[in-house]
Amino acid sequence: MLRLVYYELIKTFLKKRTYIGFALVAIVVPLVEVVMKIEGGRFLQYTLRSLQQDFMLVGNLFNGWFVAQSMMNSLWVHIPLLIIFVAGDQLAGEATAGTYRLILVRPVSRTRIFLAKFITTIIYTVVFVFFLGILSTGLALLLLGRGDLIILTRGILILPEADVAWRFLAGYLLAAWAMVSIASIAFFFSTFVENAIGPIISTMGVNMIFVLMTVLPLDFFKTLRPYLFTHYLNVWLRVFEDPVPWQDIATGCLALGGYVAGFIIAAWLIFRRKDILT
């Protein structure tokens, strides 16, 4: 199995499209953070405008931690797009290239090939999320310095600097898990088609619709939310609450795990019986 995973990693990481996501992050993250430095905290002042009439905020709140935490919002839509760009190609890419005919005629079960591909997808997803985390956090701290972290969701929360670093680490670990759940949807769609565009569009469509249903304050959607994976996708944000709601995070992770298992089992059932016609 290790050998299969090794060669799947080679196939994935020697492909140019794998690096499109890395390249975009490597361009966009520094660009945004440099612009934020140039703007000099106007973004934070604008956000806090109404509050500054009632509170006196002291210290360097527009710092690297704040910017790095803001960058994590890209995990809702932008980063998933870049992840499914590769995840959706794992199976569909073989169909497009005609290489199913090369690999599925061997004396190795389709289940093992399928697992090797999914493990590769998980590894890619984790590497990519941590690339984002290390680049955005490291660069933000370098450009904007350190200080206490101000959190602006549901009011104001200020976390002392000593209590911040581990939250980023935990946040990115949880984000990686959340992204694996999105990758598993792309992987599922990837079993049906002969072109990676289909899984990419389908997964993005599902993700965007579900995110909207999760964030729009409509009663009808509220009843549906517990069944949507996007309802649990924010586990990475929850570590920036105080106290950290570990019970909710665990429930969210389990729910996402359920979605991963569901999509992967469904994909496997399709893949093992799929007729290879390309």
Partner 1 sequence: MTGDLILQTKNLGKQYKRRWAVHHLDLEVHRGDVFGFLGPNGAGKSTTIRMLLSLIRPTEGEVFLFNYSLAREREKALRSIGGIVEKPDFYLYLSAFRNLEIVGSLNGGAEKKRIEEVLELVGLSARARDKVKTYSHGMKQRLGIAQSLLSDPEFVILDEPTSGLDPQGMKEIRDLIRHLASDRQKTVMLSSHLLNEVEMVATRMAVINRGELVTQGDVGALLEKGEKVVTFRGQPAEKLLSILSSRIGAEKVTLKGDDLLVSMPFEDIPAITRILVAEGIDIQAIIPRRSLEEYFLSITESDSK
User: Which spans of this chain sit near partner 1 (rule: CB under 8 A)?
Assistant: 3-4, 6-7, 10-11, 14-16, 97-109, 113, 273, 275-277
- Which residue's CB is nearer to partner 1, number 58 or number 277? 277
Query: Which of residues 95 and 151 has its CB atom nearest to partner 1 in the complex?
Result: 95
User: Can you tell me which residue has the tokens 């931690």?
Assistant: 65
Compute the least distance from the CB of residue 195 to partner 1, in Å: 15
d(CA 13, CA 91): 15
In the complex, least distance from residue 110 CB atom to partner 1, rounded to whole angstroms: 9
Question: CA-to-CA distance for 93 and 88, rounded, in angstroms?
Answer: 8
Decide whether 104 or 165 has the Cβ nearer to partner 1: 104
CB of 10 to partner 1, least distance (A): 7
Of the pair 52, 109, the CB lying nearest partner 1 is at 109
Contact 180, 125 (CB under 8 A): yes
Min dist. Cβ of residue 85 to partner 1 (A): 16
Distance of alpha carbon 62 from alpha carbon 93, whole angstroms? 44
Beta carbons of 235 and 171 less than 8 angstroms apart? no
Dist. CA 255–CA 146, nearest whole Å: 35
CB–CB of 260/181 below 8 Å?
A: yes
Q: Which is nearer to partner 1, 7 or 227 (CB)?
A: 7
For 151, the 3-state DSSP assignment is: strand
CB of 203 to partner 1, least distance (A): 24
